[in-house]
Amino acid sequence: MSEERDDKNAPAGWAALSSFGRNPVTAVGVVVLAVYFLAAVFAGLIAPRDPQKTSRESFRPPSAEHLFGTDDLGRDVFSGVVHGARVSLVMGFAVALLSVLVGVLVGSAAGYAGGLADDLLMRLTEVFIIPPRFFLALVVAALFGSNYVNLAAVLVVTYWPSTARLVRAEVLSLKERGYVEAARALGAGHARLLFHAILPNASPLIVTNFVMMVGMVVLVEAGLSFVGLGDSSHVSWGYMLHNGEHFMRDAWWMMFFPALAISLLVLALNAVGDALNRALDPKTRIAQPGKAT
């Protein structure tokens, strides 16, 4: 590795991120996220028990044997929390990735093309942005069945418009820059201009939007499971909260640990997202997705 950073070829936006890694809060956030990833990948090895397996040892408070206690059916809460990371992370990342992908395509096409295409695409975006996400998800879960595919589909359908708007605004401002003019003067085609000159410079904003969106999706999924509309084929934190609510007076651990798991994950994602945002631009912009839960 050379000591000198090769800034000449790096897009301007990414260069601004050099301060990102030096922030201690970010470092903690990244470590926390890594722990969650490891838990999700190696859940089978880390969890001492099968999270679905019931036993006669119900309502045991946290102890050396049951780190986070047991629930009403004698299931190990710690094992549930570890396995729950899978649902949250897979849903969070899959939904955010797809939404951002669609949003970037629509937003950059609208911003770059301008004119009638821009008008039509933005009208379309307006239609998709209106139905309140959480209520639509409830209705779809009730009418079409609450499985992960349906939930992911509803969330993607309602999350892409915000990214599309953000990216469109960014592309509108970027396409007037000097280096884009220069590339155009050199004879670069539309695809080359968009994918090599404009989008790389919008990518820090897109990544920030993605990171914060993952956190919001994790919250929405947990919320749906909490009101009893999640996919019950896998252990999820939201379901554990749903179940624990009936016993909150006596078995606080049934709700405390899943709630802590959700909160820490989303906190880490938002902290990293905030740090990215700050590193991006001294004139901080508002790339904050609305919180539904």
Partner 1 sequence: MRPRRKLLPAYSGRLLFGRAVQSVFLILVLVVINFLLIHLAPGDPAQILAGQSGDEQYLQFIRARFGLDQPLGAQLWIYLSGVLRGDFGYSLGYQQPVLSVIFERVPATLLLVLTAVTLSSAAGVVLGVEAARRENSFLDRAVNTFALVCYSVPSFSVGHLLLIVFALRLGLFPAQNMSSAGQETEGVAHLLDVLEHLTLPVATLTAVYLAQVLRLTRTAMLNVLGENFITTARAKGLEERRVLYGHALRNALLPVVTVVGYDFGMLLSGAVFVETVFAWPGLGRLMIDSLAMRDYPVLMGLFLAVSVGVVVVNFITDLTYSALDPRIGYGRRSG
Q: Which parts of this chain interact with partner 1 (CB under 8 A)?
A: 126-127, 130-136, 138-140, 142-145, 215, 219, 222-223, 226-229, 241, 245, 248-249, 252, 255, 259, 262-263, 266-267, 269-271, 274, 283-286, 288, 290-293
CB of 260 to partner 1, least distance (A): 9
CB of 93 to partner 1, least distance (A): 17
CB of 34 to partner 1, least distance (A): 18
Beta carbons within 8 Å of 24's beta carbon, 6+ residues apart: none
Instruction: Give the helix/strand (H/E) hosting 236.
Output: none
Q: Are 264 and 116 in contact (CB under 8 A)?
A: no
CB of 51 to partner 1, least distance (A): 20
CB of 44 to partner 1, least distance (A): 27
Instruction: Using alpha carbons only, give the angle 265, 129, 110 rounded to the nearest 5 degrees.
Output: 105
Q: Measured from the CB atom, is 107 or 273 closer to partner 1?
A: 273
Q: Measured from the CB atom, is 198 or 261 closer to partner 1?
A: 261
Q: Measured from the CB atom, is 171 or 255 closer to partner 1?
A: 255
Q: Measured from the CB atom, is 41 or 142 closer to partner 1?
A: 142
Q: Are 106 and 282 in contact (CB under 8 A)?
A: no
Q: Are 152 and 215 in contact (CB under 8 A)?
A: no
Location of structure tokens 């050379």? 2
Helix (H, G, I), strand (E, B) or coil at 70: strand
CB of 110 to partner 1, least distance (A): 17
The per-residue DSSP string of 101-145 comes to HHHHHHHHHHHHH-HHHHHHHHHHHHHHHSS-HHHHHHHHHHHH-
Q: Measured from the CB atom, is 1 or 286 closer to partner 1?
A: 286
Q: Measured from the CB atom, is 50 or 281 closer to partner 1?
A: 281
